[in-house]
Amino acid sequence: MNENEIVAKLRARFPRIGDDAAVVDRQVITTDMLIEDVDFTRAVALPRIARKALAVNVSDIAAMGARPAYAVVAVGLPEWADIDALDALIEGFAEAAKELAIEIVGGDLSRAEKLILSIAAVGTIETRPLLRSGARPADRVYVSRPLGGSAAGLTVLQRGALPAAYAAREAAESAIRRHLDPEPEVALGLALAAIPEVTACIDISDGLSTDLHHLCDASQCGAEIERARIPVFPGLQSLGVNVADAVLHGGEEYALLFTSSLREAELSARVKRPVYAIGRITSGREVTLDGKPLEPRGWDHFARH
């Protein structure tokens, strides 16, 4: 296949692609790159990888309290990616863009040794941006949903076999979906941005411990959280993983971690869904779990090499 054929294919699916740059007029921009054998393997179907690449960018927009608007997609295609693979990627991006309510308006294609999906996404701020830096002492620390599923799903995938027991099997499949098919919290982010008492927000991409440190660093504060209050992904206990590690340090959750002076019942009522208070912001600079220091042991692309 040559570039013209590829461009024709892209245009058929994304009619706004075509000029050197695309015309937009929006307000929040982010970028995330996924690389084969670093962020995913070829064992995962290409449309699913495409969806994940888009979803993690949309999650960044959600964490800002903004509405997804536009994205541009740069793809590095390895030799093994034939025309069917390209079709699968394009179809995956098109479906995911529809589901995630974001429009792909431009892109770039290169040859590469590994599959690379690099996306930049733009979102519209409807009320105000949610920053990491607004947390204040005595604010409550919240997470948007039960944690640990993504890390457990990755472990199950790496094992290569599902548990035999029915209930564990269900939990395993659901954990794998949490890992492979992230659900960005767009509606929640927009709702939180509209509530003045919400003070800071981040999405949990590196793991609760690491992202809580990020939020506290940006806000120049500390936090004390309680293990017993952190909601745990349903069935996590049946999957033979270290539950505490998965919940505290597991990355790629794409839940929101945020702070507010409002109580849990009040905030849940305002956003019309459960949110989970797991602790408090403090005026010191320490981050603690049940009174002991909580080290940032989540994902760090560079420390492991």
- Residues at the site binding its own copies, with contacts judged by CB under 8 A: 1-4, 6, 18-35, 37-39, 59-61, 63-64, 66, 70, 72-77, 79, 105-114, 116, 118, 120-123, 125, 129, 131-133, 202-203, 218, 300-303, 305
Shortest Cβ distance from residue 131 to its own copies (Å)? Answer: 5
- Rounded to the nearest 5°, which phi and psi values hold at 282? -120, 165
Q: DSSP per residue over 196-265, as a string? A: TTEEEEEE-SS-HHHHHHHHHHHHT-EEEE-GGGS-B-TTGGGGTS-HHHHHHH------EEEEESS-HH
190, 64 Cβ separation under 8 angstroms: no
Shortest Cβ distance from residue 151 to its own copies (Å)? Answer: 18
Q: Which is nearer to its own copies, 83 or 265 (CB)?
A: 83
Q: Which is nearer to its own copies, 78 or 240 (CB)?
A: 78
Query: In 10 A of CB 275, how many CB atoms?
Result: 25
Q: Which residues of 125-135 are buried (b: 16+ CB within 10 A; e: fewer)?
A: beeeebbbebb
Shortest Cβ distance from residue 215 to its own copies (Å)? Answer: 10
Q: What is the side-by-side order of every strand in the sheet holding 198-203?
A: 198-203, 256-260, 140-143, 276-282, 222-225, 287-289, 292-293
Q: Which is nearer to its own copies, 202 or 225 (CB)?
A: 202
- Residues, the chain: 305
Shortest Cβ distance from residue 186 to its own copies (Å)? Answer: 12
Shortest Cβ distance from residue 290 to its own copies (Å)? Answer: 24
Shortest Cβ distance from residue 114 to its own copies (Å)? Answer: 6
Q: Which is nearer to its own copies, 212 or 236 (CB)?
A: 212
d(CA 169, CA 156) in angstroms, rounded, equals: 10
Q: Which is nearer to its own copies, 171 or 249 (CB)?
A: 249
d(CA 75, CA 107) in angstroms, rounded, equals: 8
Residue 197 CB partners (closer than 8 Å, separation 6+): 260, 261, 262, 267
Shortest Cβ distance from residue 161 to its own copies (Å)? Answer: 28
Q: Which is nearer to its own copies, 18 or 196 (CB)?
A: 18
Q: Which is nearer to its own copies, 70 or 236 (CB)?
A: 70
260, 195 Cβ separation under 8 angstroms: yes
